Amino acid sequence: MKFRIATKNDVSKIMEIIKQAQQFLKDQGINQWQDNYPNEEVINNDINNNNCYVIADGQMIVAFGAIIFAEEPTYKIIEGGSWLNDDSYCVIHRLAVNQAYRNQKIASMFIEYVKNLCISKDIYNIRIDTHQDNLIMQKMLKNNGFQYCGVIYLLSNDVRLAYQLAIYQS
């Protein structure tokens, strides 16, 4: 499997994974990604900004996510806790796994690739948020060393649980 920056040729396969994830979340009763988000415009913007990464198994896209090395405006205010530190960080958004690869720890593999990418850029913190009902994502984050930090609000005022991983330098 190969971790790489997504290209325009990947958009249709990424959109298939998004549709799978939307249905999966809906089936779980989770009101996340149910409002035409993320859509093709969002993914194209991620690709145009070199923020969209995939794990590919040959021609198959196994997982994708946006990895952004910039401050996230919605992370400036956190309630019910605090970030682990104020150091530079990258943000992971829109992480999803192809349903054919579920339960194979692919999301954890994606996190490992992100950690290595961060270290290569001298960034030692990763922040991410998820829906309060998305227990599968919360468990995956905890299993990968992320710590719950508090609540943030999206621009839509939707509540999200915020997590941070401090990558310890050896």
pTM of this structure: 0.95
30-55 pLDDT, tens digit per residue, is: 989 988 899 999 999 999 999 999 99
Quick check: 140 pLDDT over 70?
yes
* 67, 114 contact by CB (below 8 A): yes
Distance (Å, rounded) from C-alpha 115 to C-alpha 123?
Answer: 9
Looking at residue 168, what is its pLDDT? Answer: 80
Inter-CA distances, 120 with 59, 114, 146, Å: 26, 10, 20
| 3-24 pLDDT tens trace | 999 999 999 999 999 999 999 9
> Under a CB-based contact definition with an 8 Å cutoff, are residues 148 and 161 in contact?
yes
How many angstroms separate the Cα of 9 from the Cα of each of 12, 96, 103, 117? Answer: 7, 18, 26, 23
For the chain, domains (ranges, CATH) are 2-166 (3.40.630.30)
Average pLDDT, the chain: 96
Q: In what helix (H) or strand (E) does residue 161 lie, and over which residues does it extend?
A: strand 159-166
Helices (H), 28-86: 40-48
Name the pLDDT band for 170 (thresholds 50, 70, 90): low
